[in-house]
Amino acid sequence: MASVELELQGALVARLKADVPLTALVQGRVYDQPPSPVVYPYVTTGEAQTLRDDATCVSGGQVYLTLHAWSQAVGFPEVKRIADAVVESLHLAPITLPTNRLISIMHRQTRTFRDSDGLTSHAVIEFVANTEKPLA
């Protein structure tokens, strides 16, 4: 059985690449590791943390997921539009995983700021996913 984090990452990337409004903004540039040189704007998968929360008959937990949006357009409007499109695509989305079960995925927060290069606008988009693993 695959890691729930790995299955979630694959499902989220596939969903984001297929999302029409997001594709209009980033032209399908959704990466785990962006190529070099990279074309802006784009989205990357980020950090994940799993907290187990097993019950008597269920093995489950919460997966805290971070996605990042990047833009070099002047100001914050473009990166905020990208972040909003990511949230609209994933918040409460009915996503099926190959071997694990996604109960829900919810947007927690988005932070936007200018990176230290003074040119790149950056959005950090955080979600929590409640999951269950089938019992062996």
**pLDDT digits 0-9 by tens, 34-81:** 999 999 999 999 999 999 876 666 678 899 999 999 999 999 999 999
pLDDT band at 113 (very low <50, low <70, confident <90, very high): very high
3-class DSSP assignment, residue 48: strand
Contact (Cβ atoms closer than 8 angstroms) between residue 112 and residue 83: yes
Average pLDDT over residues 101-120: 96
According to the model, what pLDDT value does residue 55 have?
65
Q: Report yes or no on whether pTM surpasses 0.85.
A: yes
Instruction: Say which residue the tokens 């989305």 belong to.
Output: 93
DSSP codes joined into one string, 15-27: HHHH-HHHHHHHT
The pLDDT value recorded for residue 1 is: 54
Q: Does residue 136 register a pLDDT over 70?
A: no
Look at residue 54 in the predicted model and tell me its pLDDT: 65
- CB-hemisphere CA count at 13 Å for 27? 5
CATH architecture, domain 4-133: 2-Layer Sandwich (3.30)
The DSSP string of 75-93 is: SSHHHHHHHHHHHHHHTT-
Residue 63, strand partner residues? 50, 129
Please state the separation of Cα 6 from the chain's center in Å.
12
Q: What is the pLDDT of residue 60?
A: 81
Pair 74, 59: CB distance under 8 Å: no
Q: Where are the domains of the chain?
A: 4-133
- The pLDDT of 10-22, averaged and rounded, is 97
Q: Residue 133: its pLDDT value, please?
A: 82
Give the percent of the chain with pLDDT over 90.
Answer: 85
